[in-house]
Amino acid sequence: MTSSASWIDEISMKDLEQKTNEIYERLRREAPLTYIPALGAYVASTAELCQEIARSDDFEGVLNPSGIRTFGRPCIIDENGPLHRDLRSMIDPALRATDVDRWVDALVRPIARRYIGAMEDAGHAELMAEYFEPVSVRSLGDFLGLTAVSSDTLRDWFHRLSASLANAGMNADGSFSNPDGFADGDKAKEEIRTLVDPLLDRWTKHPDNNSAISHWLHDGMPAGTTRSREDIYPTLFVFLLGAMQEPAHAMGSTLAGLFTRPGQLEAVIDNPQLIPRAIAEGLRWVAPIWSAAGRITVRATTAGGVDLPAGTVVMLSFGSANRDGGRYEAPSAYDMTRPPLPHLAFGAGSHACAGIHFANHVCRIGLEELFEAIPNVAPAGETRFRGWSFRGPTAVYAKWEV
């Protein structure tokens, strides 16, 4: 299959990684719903189309081939109907807003303070590696019950699974263009199973109320039974990638955005109540889950004037939708004073992110602690962003007087 424009047929995986904003801006303008041969799928790039498709009964959730290869099945992103509802019933209870509000501060704030304490006397830091990612992965790791797994190990798993998911290049015959690109992710999954299997053995006999994974085993199951670990692992892999990545990248993007607006940075530091608004704009400006959500047509339908046969996969580019000039004024600029409008960083429809409240709280607490301890934080270099599937800063260099 080819697209309707030769430049789209020439888009490579390297282009998607290195020219993300440029490519999606042109897609929004010239081909809001189009087939990209390198991905072997259609891509929706505007806010209107992403919302329409995410909420349409003509579509169901689906993983692209690299997602299936990375996470396996049954995966919460890929399932629909009763199995999807069962998987959501497994993870949703601990992530309800009222429950998260009750325990998240006691979980995340000591973690943030520990990492702040380790770096604040240095007067400089690369904040993604030294603060944002460690706070994000440690908070989620402890929530899941992986307290004995080091933060460095969690970060390593997250990066290797991310590279596996992004290895989405396809040949015309439907095979992967770089099959060896999954090897490191496969090794990470073996390491995860090696560490988690003994925990599952223990929690099967002795449930742990402080472990989300222990709840996944038991909650909603008939007395004397537990959920199969083969039903748990694919969704655990999703958490170890997306749920760890999103708060870290959101914090990094928010601070990078504030660095471009010194007056807004000063206002946020002076008034911490503005931090949630700053985060919301950071999530809009650079959506962490840029184009990792997929839908598949359950019947022949039409979207954006394009006829789609049953079984057609469409990737929803939520990050591109958040930069749609038809919805946001000057969308490529960070501006926390813009009129608040809903964004799609957490998706939409029945497959919207379950961890929205948790992620927002991790970001809020992380930035509260940073600005409280280091109110004179300032940029110490250019922030570069990477990724078309998951997107965020590769590094955020900062300095401050001690």
Residue 86 lies in a domain: yes
Residue 229 lies in a domain: yes
DSSP class per residue in 181-202: GGHHHHHHHHHHHHHHHHHHHH
Residue 352 lies in a domain: yes
Residue 356: CB atoms within 10 A of its CB come to 17
Number of domains in the chain: 1
What is the Cα–Cα distance from 30 to 27, expressed in whole angstroms? Answer: 5
Residue pLDDT, tens place only, 292-345? 889 999 999 999 999 999 999 999 999 999 999 999 999 999 999 998 878 998
Tell me the CATH number at 289.
Answer: 1.10.630.10
pLDDT value at residue 224: 87
Residue 270 lies in a domain: yes
Higher confidence at residue 46 or residue 347? 46
- Collapsing DSSP states into helix, strand and coil, what is residue 297? strand
Residue 1 lies in a domain: no
Give the angle 52-294-393 at the CA atoms, nearest 5°: 105
Pairing, β 301-303 against β 378-379: unpaired
Residue 134 lies in a domain: yes
Q: Which range among 2-16, 106-120, 252-266, 300-314 shows the weakest confidence by mean pLDDT?
A: 2-16
Residue 135 lies in a domain: yes
Residue pLDDT, tens place only, 125-148? 999 999 999 999 999 999 999 999
Handedness of CA 152, 144, 289, 363 (dihedral sign): negative
Residue 374 lies in a domain: yes
3-state helix, strand, coil in the chain (%, to 5): 55, 10, 35
Domain range for 107 is 6-399
- Collapsing DSSP states into helix, strand and coil, what is residue 278? helix
Partners of 399 in beta bridges: 124, 378
Residue 41: CB atoms within 10 A of its CB come to 20
Taking the model in full, what pTM does it have? 0.93
What is the Cα–Cα distance from 13 to 166, expressed in whole angstroms? Answer: 9
Tokens 């057609």 belong to 312
